[in-house]
Every structure is written in structure tokens, then in C-alpha cells.
Amino acid sequence: MTQVRIENATKMYGNFAAVSKVSVDIPDGSFVCLLGPSGCGKTTLLRLVAGLEDLSDGALIVGGEDYGHIPAHKREFGMVFQSLALFPHLTVAENIAYPLKIRGTSAAKRRARATELLELIKLPGIEDRYVHQLSGGQRQRVAIARGLAIDPKVFLLDEPLSALDANLREHMQIELRQLQKDLGVTTIVVTHDQREAMSMADVVIVMEAGEVQQIGTPMEIYRNPANAFVANFIGVSNLIPGQLIDHSTFEAGGAAIPLTAEDILHVDPPSSATLSVRPEDVVISGNAKDGQLQGEVLFVRDLGASVEILVQVGEMEITSVCTPKRRPDVKVGDTVGVEVLTGRATVLAP
Amino acid sequence: MSALSDRLKDHRVAVFPTLMLLVFFLIPFFIMFAVSFFSRDEGAFFAPAFEFSNYARFMSPFFFKVLITSISLSAAAAVLSVSIAVPFTYFVTRMSSRAQSVVLVFLLSVLSLSEVIIGFAWSTLLSQTAGIGNLLVALGILETSRSFTPSLGALLLGLCYLGFPYAVLVIYPALSRLDPELPEAARMLGASPVRSFFNVIVPMLRNTITGALILVFVFTLGAYLLPQVLGRPQHWTLSVHITDQAIFQSNLPFAAAMAIFLMLVSLALVGLSTLLGQKRT
């Protein structure tokens, strides 16, 4: 059982805390994404788990054992690096079987394991090629296979798909997730791409400024962001500042937005607050009704599969997304009504 | 017509380097090559001739031994300098960029020392009266101070001191360009730091290491002062004898013949090691 527990992990560089008091429990066999903008400390946290950096404070417990002082090469973890770090002077099979060579496995067994892993990643028959003869996607898979060669206790990946083009990346997300499910290995992936995190992870850990902002399943985090940073980082959010009057009314820009029992309140009324609403819950209509927010259309983005309308409401810019079928008949410069469909909104601290 | 003038334009950039090579390398080399076939004239240096006597004189057991000494000394110095320079440079590249430039500037300043200064500085340092012998006595390692020079060890030390900065400067760019995730990847796969150094960094630097070996080898092959200052007469290299013939015996034709021969032998060795180095890419 390789449950990973990070307790109060802190990493200081001089006076700068790259990771500050992070505590996470990662259940055995789960797929966790560390998500955040660049410089948020997610890679440092992964390197702390890997043993490539030493904890300044806190503890790392893997499978019930304290791993804080075990050097990286004795942790029996697998890791895929951002640059992939495949060895250019070795063939594909030698790359994959390198960890087995270190452990003294016989040449025949090493070869067999490399072949087995190449079949697993759907690239049979490339054992004797060199890394420079492979395409980007193939290298990616070989790096994954090498990380899995010893049946690692924990599988760590640092922005593993960032070098791939968009189509291949989405395809690899699915493959990586399926591979992880089949093997049941506890996996931690660092990514800055929220779509990637949402499509792969059981649990998403959102980080910013070295601290954990929120931990939850992708849908929990999307549906109920803990603060404005998470609301904005996970997908697009409209953050509407205003007053929470009571449990059923939010007032903003002279309009009263009715709240329902399904909306999640992070503050107690009455209080100034911020309403977080997803663009798909904002409906634009050509003629504004009384008590509705009103604004001027700034931009209409016809994306084919969806339509995005950007509206200036007072000081705010509000984004609405709808399907082409429901596209309101508006153009840039029109004054329109902005209806906020509540029931899926979150009221956050201001 | 335009194709021709285009082609001429392409070649224009080559004019300057060709000229430089011709004036400063090929012509002097040709003069030396010609002189090596001249005959010696006791009164006036040399007289034009075409004879192989200079080369014939060289074909003796004595000079063969000198040649072997030269090559072995330079090869040993090259191997020693590079074996120290590779791990040294590796640690330098892991320092902060500020510390890196300090180390590199220091190494460059070592390069500005001439062979004469290096030779006499080491000869003083290794002497009985003013050298490290006294330090070892103070540390209780030696009973009484002794001299460490002249000796083979002292000569090798001097040659390594001469070649080491060059080895570092050749290896440094390649090592600092090496993806730092490569040794980390080896560590994650179970290799100890020492093992990841030998399994990943050394093989990836194969061509660079070959280059550094060749450079130090060729460079120390030309050292003619250090063997005289730090070595015994049996350690005198071909370069010492060339200097001796050219300057003290005024026998330029024989010196030229030895120089040509030394150059051919070292060219052959360099070619061989390059071939071996490129066998696997």
C-alpha cells in the first residue's frame, strides 16, 4: 500500500518559501494533479516528494514510513521529467531497462521487461532505436515506460505532456489515465493546464504562492471554488462584487440576483461578497428587463461549437457562453440584459 | 551568369581566413618543411639541399626512446588533467552563476602564466628549503623536509597544471548545456550520484572528453621548459631536444626534421583517437 502523506511540508530558499506548510493525504492508487500557475511551488512540491529537494520542515510519509531522509535513488519511485530526460546515448530498450540494470537484473530479463512495457504503451518493436529517431509522442511514451519499469511505489510526472501539440496532448491524457487505472499506481502529476487536471485527476490540488488553495475532485473544485483565485484559475469565472443581503438575495450593480438553496455561500449575510458564476450560467438577452444587470456588448466570439459574448457591466466584464442554437441576436455595441442563472453559483468572500 | 557570380559571392567570405592561414601557417610550415631537407652549414646555419640525412639521424634508438617518453608523458598528462577536469567542471556547473564566473576568471588568469613562471614556481614549491616538504614536516607527515623535484611526479604535476585549465574550458560549455534533469532522471531510476555521473554524464560527454584529451596532449607535447626545470634528463622530451638543436646547436635542419616527425606522429595519434571517439555516436 503506498499511501502518500505530506505533513506541513515547507521548502525555504533563503527567506522565500517556495512551498509553505502543505499538508495532503494521497490515498493508495489515486491520481492526483498539482495544479497552479508557474512559480506556485507545484514542481518544488513534486521534487520534495521525489527526494530531489530536501524538506526545510515537515514530513513525508509513504506507505506508513518516514521518507524524509531517504535519498532519491533509494525511494523506488518512478518519475517523468518535463524535458523527459531520456538518455540519448542509449537505445529505447536500454533506456527503459536502465533502472533494472542498476538493480542487477540479467540482460535477458531486462530485454523482456522492455518489450513488455513497449507493448503496454503501444509501441512494440522500437527496442533498438535511439531517442533522436523517435517522434515527440513516442518519446513521451518511452519516458512513461521507463518510469514504470520497476513497478514504482509512486509515479511522479512533471508537466509530462507540455511538449506535445494540443491534439496529441488530449489523446495522451486519456492514455495516461487508463494506464494508471490498469496499474493502480499512486500517481502525482504537475500541470498548469486545468483541462489536463480535470480530465485525468481523481483529486486536484490547486496551489498558489507556495500554498494549497483547495483540494478536491475536479467537479468539486469547478462547482465550489474555495476562493476567487481557484474560481478564476479553474475554467473561466465571472466574479461579480456586491452585497449578500440574505440567504436568497445578492445585490450587485443595482440589480437583485435571487439565490437558491443550491448556491454555496462562503460568507454569512449580510456582508459584502463576490458572486462567482460560470459563463455557461450567464444568459444574454437583447432587451433588458427590470432588476437585471445591464451592459454593453464588447465582443462576440463565434467559435462554431459555442458562442462567447463579452459584456461590459459597469466596471466589470462578464463573459457568457452558449450554444449557437441559443445565440441571442446581439452585436457589438448593443445594450443587453445580463441574467445570472443561480443554483450553480458560489458566494465568496470579497 | 548570375549563378556564377552568386557562387563567387559565396566564396568571398572564405578569402580572409584562407589568406591568414596561408601567411601565418602554410608558408612558415612549408619553409620548415623545406629546411628539414637542407644540409647543415657550420658557418651559416644551413645551405639549400635535398637530403634525408636529418631524418636518417633521427632513426636511432636514442631518439626513439625520447619520442616514446614525449608521447607517454603528454598522454599521461592529458588523461590526468581530463580525469580531474571532468568532475571538477561538473561541480562548477552546479554552483551559482556568480561563483561559476569567479572560478572561470581564476582559471583564465592561470592561462596567462607562462610556462617559465609555472615551471619555476613549482620547482620552488617542491624544493627542500622553501617547499611543501616543510609543510608536511609541520603536519607531522614527514620526518625531515626533502625535495620533490626534479622527478617524474614533479614534471607530470607541472604538465597537468599547464593542461588543466584548457581541459576545463573545453568541457565547461558542454557540461553547462547538459540538461540537469538527465542526472536527476538517473537518480530517480535508482542510480547513486556517483553512478549517475559515470552512466549518464561521462558517456554524453564522450566527444567533448576526446576533444579535451587531444587538446591537452598536443599542448603539453610542445612543452620544452617544464621537462628541463622539473624533470631529470631521462624525462627530456622531443621538444626539449628540438629546442636544444635549434637554439644551442644551431642545427636548424635537424630541429625542423624532428619537429616534422613529431607533428606527423601526433597527427596520427589524434586521428586515431578521433576515430575511436566517433565509433559510436
Same domain membership, residue A196 and residue A264: no
Q: What is the DSSP string of A170-192?
A: HHHHHHHHHHHHHHT-EEEEEES
First to last CA, chain A: 43
Does some domain include residue B275?
yes
Same domain membership, residue A245 and residue A219: no
First to last CA, chain B: 43
Burial group, residue A246, by CB count within 10 angstroms (0-12, 13-18, 19+) = exposed
CATH of the domain at A249: 2.40.50.100
Rounded CA-CA distance A237/A223 in Å is 11
Summarised one tens digit per residue, pLDDT across range B100-113 is 999 999 988 888 88
Closest residue to A72, CB basis, from B181, B187, B204 = B187
Say whether A89 and B203 touch across the interface (CB within 8 A).
Answer: yes
SS3 category, A299: strand
Please state the pTM of the whole predicted model.
Answer: 0.77
Say whether B204 and A87 touch across the interface (CB within 8 A).
Answer: yes
CATH of the domain at B263: 1.10.3720.10
Per DSSP, what are the bridge partners of residue A333? none
- B184 inside 8 A of chain A by CB: yes
Burial group, residue A107, by CB count within 10 angstroms (0-12, 13-18, 19+) = exposed
Q: How many CA atoms lie within 13 A of B197 on its CB side?
A: 10
Q: Domain range holding A316?
A: 236-348
E strand residue ranges, A218-261: 238-246, 249-252, 255-258
Q: What is the mean pLDDT of residues A209-227?
A: 88
Does some domain include residue A255?
yes
CATH of the domain at A8: 3.40.50.300
Proportion of chain A above pLDDT 70, given as a percent:
99
| Torsion sign, CA atoms B46, B47, B50, B56 | negative
Same domain membership, residue A25 and residue A91: yes
Same domain membership, residue A290 and residue A198: no
Same domain membership, residue A143 and residue A202: yes
Rounded CA-CA distance B219/B159 in Å is 9
Say whether A50 and B200 touch across the interface (CB within 8 A).
Answer: no
Same domain membership, residue A149 and residue A37: yes
Q: Domain range holding B217?
A: 61-280
Summarised one tens digit per residue, pLDDT across range B108-152 is 888 888 888 988 899 888 888 777 878 888 888 877 777 787 888
Alpha helices per DSSP H over B152-251: 152-177, 181-188, 193-196, 202-204, 206-221, 226-230, 238-243
Number of domains in chain B: 1
Would you state the pLDDT for residue B44?
67
Quote the cell numbers at residue A266: 462562503
Give the minimum alpha-carbon distance from B204 to chain A in angstroms, rounded to a whole number: 6
Same domain membership, residue A219 and residue A242: no
SS3 category, B243: helix
Would you state the pLDDT for residue A205?
92
Using a CB-CB cut-off of 8 Å, the residues of chain A touching B204 are 87-89
Give the minimum alpha-carbon distance from A40 to chain B in angstroms, rounded to a whole number: 20
Burial group, residue A175, by CB count within 10 angstroms (0-12, 13-18, 19+) = middle
Same domain membership, residue A141 and residue A30: yes
Q: Are A270 and A244 contacting, i.e. CB atoms less than 8 angstroms apart?
A: yes
Does some domain include residue A229?
no
Same domain membership, residue A62 and residue A173: yes
Domain boundary among A194, A223, A252: A223
Using a CB-CB cut-off of 8 Å, the residues of chain B touching A139 are none
Give the minimum alpha-carbon distance from B84 to chain A in angstroms, rounded to a whole number: 23
- B195 inside 8 A of chain A by CB: yes
Number of domains in chain A: 2
Same domain membership, residue A240 and residue A301: yes
Does some domain include residue A230?
no
Closest residue to B190, CB basis, from A52, A89, A103 = A103
Give the minimum alpha-carbon distance from B175 to chain A in angstroms, rounded to a whole number: 15
Domain boundary among A223, A253, A270: A223
Does some domain include residue B160?
yes
Does some domain include residue A118?
yes
Residues 6 or more apart in contact with residue B156 via CB below 8 angstroms: B73, B76, B77, B80
* Mutation for testing the A interface, residue in B94, B181, B189 having most A CBs under 10 Å: B189
Would you state the pLDDT for residue B281?
44
The ipTM estimated for the assembled molecules is 0.78
Burial group, residue A141, by CB count within 10 angstroms (0-12, 13-18, 19+) = buried
Same domain membership, residue A177 and residue A295: no
